[in-house]
Amino acid sequence: MNRPMPPDALLDIDPLDPMGFEPAHELKGWILQTFIDEQGELHNPDHAHISPWDDDLFKVLWASKGFIKAEQVVLGQTEKFAPMAGGWRKARQEKQMIDWFGCVPKFIITIDAWFAHKASDVDFCSLIEHELYHIGAKRDEDGNYLVSQSTGEYKYYLRGHDVEEFYGVVQRYGASESVQKMVELANDGPTISRANIAHACGTCLLKLA
């Protein structure tokens, strides 16, 4: 299944004009079929907590361009939808979600349309999977998923990186267990294909701010 491309209408927007957005329904379906479905071409069991049947768990949005954060161009971002409290403000934000997606999702993944238009399949897949990894589900000490007693759903949260450390600390004091694991995985080589992971994730930059 070929990956969906962004609509031409977004690519035609002048970079000086206000940013445009469009729901990426086809991209959401492709993500489920490619990475989440057990029969998917690039199925990843790390995303087992993302159910293809939980339609409002996450939705995907095209943006007409990226934005600058911490002197980097953001090409993708995962957000846990949390409308600002307060009467009309909250209702207005929820109404926008319903107009776009027909529901109020727990997470929104936004992808730069221009990056998607130009990127190789491998680079595009690496960005999509990066954003999917930000959708986390809490586990207990034994590794079992925690379930909400009121809803019966997993307890989802916005997940950070597996490894977060400064180069200087590793250089001076050595690699921690998690950093060493990352080194071992890198030395083993990619299981799919090598991607040019030069994109910036707005979720990660937000956590660093």
d(C-alpha 73, C-alpha 24), whole Å: 21
d(C-alpha 42, C-alpha 85), whole Å: 39
What is the per-residue pLDDT across 66-99, written as a single tens digit (0 to 9) for each? 888 777 778 899 999 988 777 898 999 999 999 9
Kindly give, in sequence order, each residue whose CB lies less than 8 Å from that of residue 137, ignoring residues fewer than 6 positions away. 49, 145, 146, 154, 155, 156, 157
This prediction's pTM: 0.83
- How many other CB atoms are there within 10 angstroms of residue 13's CB atom? 15
What is the per-residue pLDDT across 153-208, written as a single tens digit (0 to 9) for each? 999 999 887 666 556 666 666 777 777 887 887 887 777 766 665 566 666 665 54
> Domain locations in the chain?
8-208
